[in-house]
């Protein structure tokens, strides 16, 4: 078969099930002059699966600035394939600068589309799909995470967030506080044997995973504003009683009002009733 034209080939790879690798992606990976990889051990396994053995160059967050010029130079004479460990490159990966610089150098850029955990999770969640916003990983520090959530609280779109198992419950609780107790889904192990999509409100999901952090790759999908079910008055009352154990009445009312989307003044009056009980 004739060689591929020189340039950059962005190749989506499976997020779990190796059967999801497209024939076109397999062909590119089998015949590319070099494959730029996130982790050579992961990509070596994929190449073995398709019976291919190609030169690999590590390209990731820690070496991208150093390696990128050499890859750009090679694109003038070779077919360079770009992959991530799983899914579509550039989605929460550093590859966009490689694409930008390849175009600036006049090289051909081709995409070979395929699996993407964010889109796969959206299809599993059962939430609105007409408008969505991908947020990647939220900051790990509490203040920065709260600020990031506040920035998107009014966006009328389904939110898609990547998260790790140990941080999942904390992230869900922060989302409930910052967005109100919206409907959401936690998807994990997509395309693998133990694939699951667990639905509920953000607070109920936070409670579910607080004592048993899950394993595997996790995507949180959160409904747009107005999609959450009406809050249960008993839940709001219980949350208010709990907040009063650690906060003054005004602050407790504000916290619960934000979490449940209720009127602050009404909750403050109820807080005073509870304090007097």
Domain map (residue ranges) of the chain: 7-112, 117-222, 233-276
pLDDT of residue 1: 73
Between CA 84 and CA 63 the distance in angstroms is 14
Give the domain 117-222 fold: 3.30.950
Residues 6+ apart with CB under 8 A from 105: 72, 75, 76
* Euclidean distance between CA atoms 127 and 202, whole angstroms: 13
Q: What is the pLDDT of residue 243?
A: 87
Question: Rounded to an integer, what distance in angstroms lies between the CA atom of residue 245 and that of residue 81?
Answer: 57
Are β-strands 218-222 and 158-163 bridged in parallel, bridged antiparallel, or unpaired? Answer: antiparallel
CA separation for the pair 117, 162 (Å, rounded): 9
Q: What are phi and psi of 116, to 5 degrees?
A: -150, 120
Does residue 116 contact residue 91 with C-beta atoms inside 8 Å? Answer: yes
Cα separation of 184 and 127, whole Å? Answer: 8
Residue 45's pLDDT is 96
Residue 73 is predicted with a pLDDT of 97
Rounded distance between C-alpha atoms, residue 71 and residue 69, angstroms: 5
Average pLDDT per block of 10 residues along the chain, 277 residues long: 90 96 97 96 97 96 94 97 95 88 97 97 96 96 95 95 96 95 96 94 95 91 79 82 88 86 88 81
Report the run of H or E that residue 132 belongs to, with start and end.
strand 132-137
Name the token pair of 20. 């999801």
Alpha helices in the chain (DSSP H): 23-31, 40-49, 64-74, 96-104, 117-125, 142-152, 168-179, 202-210, 233-244, 249-260, 264-276
What pLDDT does 78 receive?
Answer: 97
Structure tokens at 2: 């004739």
The pLDDT value recorded for residue 11 is 98
pLDDT score at 125: 97
Residue with tokens 């619960």: 256
Given this model, what pLDDT does residue 263 score? 87
Whether 138 and 171 have beta carbons less than 8 Å apart is answered as yes
| Closest by Cα among 43, 63, 224 to 132 | 224
pLDDT of amino acid 228: 52
Sorted by sequence, the CB contacts under 8 Å of residue 192 that are 6+ apart come out as 16, 17, 216
Instruction: Please give the model's pTM, rounded to 2 decimal places.
Output: 0.79
**Right CATH for 7-112 from 3.40.50.300, 3.90.78.10, 3.40.1010.10, 3.30.70.360:** 3.40.1010.10
pLDDT value, residue 217: 85
């Amino acid at each position: 078969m004739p060689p591929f034209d020189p340039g950059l080939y962005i190749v989506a790879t499976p997020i779990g099930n190796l059967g999801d690798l497209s024939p076109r992606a397999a062909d590119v990976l089998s015949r590319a002059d070099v494959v730029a990889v996130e982790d050579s051990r992961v990509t070596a396994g994929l190449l073995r699966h398709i019976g291919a053995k190609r030169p690999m160059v590590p390209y990731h967050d820690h070496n991208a600035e150093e390696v990128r010029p050499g890859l750009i130079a090679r694109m003038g004479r070779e077919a360079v394939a770009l992959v991530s460990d799983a899914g579509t490159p550039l989605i929460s990966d550093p590859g966009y600068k490689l694409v930008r610089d390849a175009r600036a150098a006049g090289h051909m850029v081709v995409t070979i589309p395929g699996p993407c955990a964010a889109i796969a999770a959206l299809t599993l969640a059962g939430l609105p799909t007409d408008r969505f916003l991908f947020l990647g990983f939220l900051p790990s520090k509490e203040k920065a995470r709260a600020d990031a959530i506040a920035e998107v609280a009014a966006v009328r779109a389904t939110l898609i967030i990547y998260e790790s198992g140990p941080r999942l419950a904390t992230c869900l609780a922060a989302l409930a506080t910052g967005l109100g107790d919206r409907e959401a889904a936690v998807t994990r192990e997509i395309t693998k044997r133990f694939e699951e999509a667990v639905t509920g409100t953000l607070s109920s999901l936070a409670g579910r995973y607080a004592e048993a952090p899950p394993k595997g790759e996790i995507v949180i999908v959160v409904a747009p504003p107005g999609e959450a079910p009406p809050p249960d008055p008993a839940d709001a009352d219980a949350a208010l009683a709990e907040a009063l154990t650690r906060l003054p009445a005004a602050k407790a009312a504000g916290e619960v009002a934000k979490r449940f989307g209720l009127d602050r003044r009404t909750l403050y009056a109820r807080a005073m009733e509870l304090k007097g009980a």
